[in-house]
């Protein structure tokens, strides 16, 4: 395979990353999904319901907004893909709408999910309410503390929120707990994974649900710029679902630079970071082979980021491959810089971004581009859930 061509193979590999490394007891669940997801997603009634809900319920297409003052400040043509305007406040709902329809078609009665920032948990609780399905969301105890409004939103929507108390009490621990629960309830339960991580077919399935982002970008750029391709697409990467969605239709367009922004926490080399491509080595995390931060003997290193959604020790296999092949450019942004970028966007454009998304904005200071470039930044979510973090930081 040409290294620059990004395409998943039938075993779920992007280059050397991906696959399904799962305990025997999970095999039937994953196999059922793998055998059915493509035919269900290709069926006319799935597409009809998915498209209708994205339009009428989520509020798609989301605008592609020309950010005038930001463009002036940075000396390029900068557009924002407004995923922050989606129902529930972030891109996560695109995927949960797709997976809940899929789960219903597989006759599942219960939904489980993990969440970090709480956005995926809220998006899952929302579609469960919409479809009248039982919902349990696992969330690290630390994340429950720093994302309190989202915990209450999930509860209002009728979900049961269960704290994960192991390890760093953050996203990876919530994911471990959700996987354990799935093994114990294989028949009636679907696990809605919230990013392009996990065993095959999750990474590709989630990327395809999120690919609506770049599908819309192409149409909108054609209208505004007379061409489908921007020069750069910039997106933050936790597990990598908003970035995968924003990159998807540009993976194999060599003239589009794909900029993936990781969290450098207190500094890449501070020991408190989530800069996986700088610090990570190949290994197995949550069922797939990918890059992850680990000790010499293979123990997962606890990540750190001020943003709960980027606080993850790995990245999805497609991003590991984007990095490995050189197709993607990876940048790491520190907590402090992300916060400053969040305030700057608020003051320049009247948009308070999620702190995850704020990382993508600081990348403008860390990369080179030309003044003629058309840049799309994927604004993955709104900052409402992060008000307490902004207030605690206080520097505005």
Ligand X SMILES: Cc1ncc(COP(=O)(O)O)c(C=O)c1O
Interface with ligand X by CB under 6 A: which residues? 90, 116-117, 119-120, 195, 236-242, 309-310, 354, 356-357, 380-381
Q: Exactly one of 92, 108, 172, 385 is catalytic; name it.
A: 92
Q: Exactly one of 71, 288, 380, 385 is catalytic; name it.
A: 380
CB-nearer residue toward ligand X: 257 or 359: 359
Starting at the earlier edge strand, list the strands of the sheet with 189-192.
Answer: 160-164, 134-140, 110-115, 189-192
Q: In the annotation, is 43 catalytic? A: no
Q: Which residue has the tokens 């994340």?
A: 143
CB-nearer residue toward ligand X: 77 or 359: 359
Nearest distance, CB of residue 77 and ligand X, angstroms: 23
The count of other CB atoms within 10 Å of the CB of residue 7 is 14
Nearest distance, CB of residue 379 and ligand X, angstroms: 9
CB-nearer residue toward ligand X: 119 or 389: 119
Do the Cβ atoms of 379 and 357 come closer than 8 Å? Answer: yes
DSSP string, 18-67: E-----GGGHHHHHHHHHHHHHHHHSHHHHHHHHHHIIIII-PSPPEEE-
211, two tokens: 């690919």
DSSP string, 220-282: HHHHHHSSS--SEEEEE-SSSHHHHHHHGGGTT-TTSEEEEEEEEET-TTTT--B-HHHH-EE
The CA distance from 144 to 97, in Å, is 24
Q: In the annotation, is 368 catalytic? A: no
Nearest distance, CB of residue 311 and ligand X, angstroms: 9
Do the Cβ atoms of 135 and 190 come closer than 8 Å? Answer: no
Q: In the annotation, is 92 catalytic? A: yes
Nearest distance, CB of residue 75 and ligand X, angstroms: 26
CB-nearer residue toward ligand X: 77 or 123: 123
Q: Exactly one of 114, 177, 344, 349 is catalytic; name it.
A: 114
CA angle 66, 71, 336 (to 5 degrees): 110
Nearest distance, CB of residue 89 and ligand X, angstroms: 7
CB-nearer residue toward ligand X: 77 or 361: 361
The CA distance from 383 to 279, in Å, is 28
Q: What are the residue numbers of the active site?
A: 92, 114, 380
């Amino acid at each position: 395979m040409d290294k620059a061509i990004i395409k998943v193979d039938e075993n779920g590999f992007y280059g050397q990353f991906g696959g399904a490394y799962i305990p025997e007891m999970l095999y039937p669940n994953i196999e059922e999904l793998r055998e059915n997801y493509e035919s269900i997603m290709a069926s006319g009634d799935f597409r009809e319901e998915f498209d209708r809900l994205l339009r009428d319920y989520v509020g798609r297409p989301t605008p592609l907004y020309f950010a005038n003052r930001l463009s002036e400040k940075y000396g390029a043509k900068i557009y924002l893909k407004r995923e922050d305007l989606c129902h529930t406040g972030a891109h996560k709902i695109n995927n949960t709408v797709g997976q809940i329809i899929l789960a219903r078609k597989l006759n599942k009665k219960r939904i489980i999910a993990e969440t970090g920032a709480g956005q995926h948990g809220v998006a899952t609780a929302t579609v469960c309410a919409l479809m009248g399905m039982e919902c349990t969301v696992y969330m690290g105890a630390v994340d429950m503390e720093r994302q309190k409004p989202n915990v209450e939103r999930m509860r209002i929507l009728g979900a049961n929120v269960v704290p994960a108390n192991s390890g760093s009490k953050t996203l990876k621990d919530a994911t471990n707990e959700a996987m354990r629960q799935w093994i114990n309830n294989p028949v009636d339960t679907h696990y809605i994974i919230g990013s392009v991580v996990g065993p095959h077919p999750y990474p590709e399935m989630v990327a395809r649900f999120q690919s609506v982002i770049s599908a819309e970008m192409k149409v909108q750029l054609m209208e505004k710029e007379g061409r489908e391709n921007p020069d750069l697409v910039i997106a933050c990467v936790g597990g990598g679902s908003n970035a995968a969605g924003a990159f998807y239709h540009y993976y194999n367009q060599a003239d589009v630079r794909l900029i993936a922004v990781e969290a450098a926490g207190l500094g890449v080399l501070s020991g408190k970071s989530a800069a996986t491509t700088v610090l990570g080595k190949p290994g197995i995390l949550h069922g797939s082979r990918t890059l992850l931060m680990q000790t010499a003997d293979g123990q997962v290193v606890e990540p750190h980021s001020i943003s709960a959604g980027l606080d993850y020790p790995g990245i999805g296999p497609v991003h590991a491959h984007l990095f490995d092949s050189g197709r993607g450019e990876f940048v790491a942004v520190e907590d402090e810089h992300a916060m400053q970028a969040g305030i700057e966007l608020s003051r320049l454009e009247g948009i308070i971004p999620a702190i995850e998304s704020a990382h993508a904005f600081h990348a403008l200071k860390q990369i080179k581009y030309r003044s003629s470039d058309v840049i799309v930044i994927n604004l993955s979510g709104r900052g409402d859930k992060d008000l307490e973090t902004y207030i605690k930081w206080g520097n505005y």
